[in-house]
Amino acid sequence: MSALLEIVGLTKSFGGLAVVEDVSFRLQEGARLALIGPNGAGKTTIFNLLCGVYPVSAGSVMFDGVDITAMPSRRRIGVGLARSFQNIRLMPHLSVTENVMLGQQARASGLRALLSPLRGSRWKTEADERLAAFGLAPYRDRLVSDLPYGIRKKIEIVRAMMAAPRVLLLDEPAAGLNPRETAELQEILASIAAEGVALLVIEHDMGLVRGLCPHCVVLNFGRKIYDGPTADVQRDDAVLEAYLGPRDSVHVETAHVA
Ligand SMILES: Nc1ncnc2c1ncn2[C@@H]1O[C@H](COP(=O)(O)OP(=O)(O)O)[C@@H](O)[C@H]1O
Ligand SMILES: [Mg+2]
């Protein structure tokens, strides 16, 4: 079966140093895949390559059978790749609804369409519906700068959904969330996946990874060291060594992966 998103031999060097090296993996339509690995392993760089923030040094990115390796980043959102960021990128001086509406820019023809009263009201309705579906209706008219971190994180995800993506890239969505907020996030992401949106999730919280993603890819020093079922990752020798170092007396039970 051909994958919705396929990266082949992806390599990225900064100043002669490879931070992503010959990485290949596939994400099937509607699937949920985690991308994990120690800090500095190259995970966020892979997202930046997928989104066209950086040009690749080598390798290719295929989306639905089309080579998008050299496609400008703005057009990638249009074909169905959306992203939420490791650090929140909302407009603090705009309301929650306005921030979410900005997420559909890729679908409309830019800011002009957003500002046209007719189109604008359609996007506003959709934004408010999506906010309500995520339990965020009470915050609609609030300024983002007034809201707690956990709420802003959810709003970022709602905004990414406004681009009507086929793949949603999430960079550490649970970072900074407490256990209750993380459980709510997992529900939200599961409902997005149930809509048929494929998820590629960078995450350190292995509870969330296990709950959401049946498969994972592990990176270490820019290279792929594991690609398989999440249920087996904590028993994999290469993964244990990446996290714990080469030691003789590693107890699997104590290994905290990610
Ligand atoms: N724009 C950049 N210029 C130079 N080095 C970078 C740049 N972006 C990332 N790196 C380096 O690439 C490596 C991988 O970073 P990153 O992809 O952010 O890791 P991760 O998300 O897995 O923690 C790090 O050593 C980081 O310093
Ligand atoms: Mg990162």
50 and 170, same domain (yes or no): yes
pTM tops 0.95, yes or no:
no
Is 170 found in the same domain as 159?
A: no
Phi, psi values for residue 75, rounded to 5°: -70, -25
pLDDT in 10s for each residue of the chain, 258 residues: 679 999 999 999 999 999 999 999 999 999 999 999 999 999 999 999 999 999 999 999 999 999 999 999 888 988 899 888 767 788 888 999 999 988 877 565 555 555 665 566 888 999 999 999 999 999 999 999 999 999 999 999 999 998 889 999 999 999 999 999 999 999 999 999 999 999 999 999 999 999 999 999 999 999 999 999 999 999 999 999 988 776 554 444 444 555
The secondary structure of residue 88, as a DSSP letter, is: -
106-132 burial code (b ≥16 CB/10 A, e <16): bebeeeebbeeeeeeeebbebbbebbe
Same domain, 170 and 57: yes
For residue 10, give the ligand nearest its CA.
Answer: 1
Cα–Cα dist 78/143, whole Å: 28
Q: Which of 33, 8, 18 is nearest to 201 (CA)?
A: 33
Is residue 184 within 8 Å of 196, Cβ to Cβ?
no
CA of 86 to the centre of ligand 2 (A): 7
Ligand 1 atom at minimum distance from 14 CA? 4
Asked if 216 and 35 count as a contact pair (C-beta separation under 8 A), the reply is yes
From CA 217, how far away is CA 36, in angstroms rounded? 6
Q: Which ligand is nearest to the CA of 48?
A: 1
Statement to judge: residues 32 and 146 lie in one domain: no
Ligand 2 centroid to residue 135 C-alpha, Å: 28
Question: Are 46 and 170 contained in the same domain?
Answer: yes
Same domain for 94 and 150, yes or no, is yes
Question: Which atom from ligand 1 is nearest to the alpha carbon of 202?
Answer: 21
Q: Which atom of ligand 1 sits closest to the CA of residue 46?
A: 17
